[in-house]
């Protein structure tokens, strides 16, 4: 009886990648983003290996219709910096939603992934669109149903 843990190899990680389609209309941003990050990492697979990118592709549509709870729409600030002295910029969530509604969902998922080359590889598998149209129909993404919470 072999009691060692199996770690996936790079070739095993690249095989069997699925495409998932998530309709974010009415979903809470943070709750949906945490489950999407888990799929991008591959934690839903028995072949999960922390040091390899074994996750699946996720297409998120209607990202502009995802909602915040509480007063986050007015109070939440997104930080950026121009890399010049005094170049700190803070943008409220409602202004980010008006200009680039998909950026809210992308930022939420990105902050839940590792901050290294592995996390950047995982982010390349996330495709986010503000409306209900996407160019990934040829991949035949399976619908992703998230656990609904009140």
Domains and CATH numbers, the chain: 18-68+103-143 (3.90.1180.10)
Quickly count helices (H) and strands (E) in the chain: 6, 6
Task: Tell me the CA distances in angstroms from 72 to 15, 41, 61, 89, one per residue in order.
Answer: 40, 27, 21, 18
Taking the C-alpha atoms of 129, 135, 22 and 40 in order, what is their torsion angle to the nearest 10 degrees?
-90
Q: Is the pTM of this model over 0.85?
A: yes
The predicted-structure confidence for 9-48, as pLDDT tens digits, reads as follows 888 777 889 999 999 999 999 999 999 999 999 999 988 9
| Spatial distance between the Cα atoms of 71 and 65, rounded to a whole number of angstroms | 16
- The residue among 35, 26, 22, 50 whose CA lies nearest residue 109 is 35
The predicted-structure confidence for 47-104, as pLDDT tens digits, reads as follows 899 999 999 999 999 999 999 999 999 999 999 999 999 999 999 999 999 999 999 9
Kind of pairing, strands 57-61 and 126-128?
Answer: parallel
| Spatial distance between the Cα atoms of 25 and 47, rounded to a whole number of angstroms | 31
């Amino acid at each position: 009886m072999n009691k060692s843990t199996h770690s996936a190899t790079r070739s095993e990680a690249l095989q069997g990648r699925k495409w998932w389609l998530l309709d974010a209309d009415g979903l809470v941003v943070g709750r949906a983003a945490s489950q999407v990050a888990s799929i991008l990492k591959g934690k839903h697979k028995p072949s999960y290996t922390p040091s390899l990118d074994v996750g699946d592709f996720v297409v998120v549509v209607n990202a502009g219709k995802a909602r915040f709870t509480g007063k986050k729409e007015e109070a939440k600030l997104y930080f950026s910096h121009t890399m010049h002295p005094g170049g700190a910029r803070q943008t409220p969530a409602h202004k980010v939603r008006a200009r680039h509604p998909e950026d809210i969902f992308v930022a939420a998922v990105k902050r839940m992934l590792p901050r290294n080359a592995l996390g950047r590889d995982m982010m390349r598998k996330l495709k986010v669109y503000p409306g209900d149209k996407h160019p990934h129909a040829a991949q035949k993404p399976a619908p992703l149903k998230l656990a609904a919470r009140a």
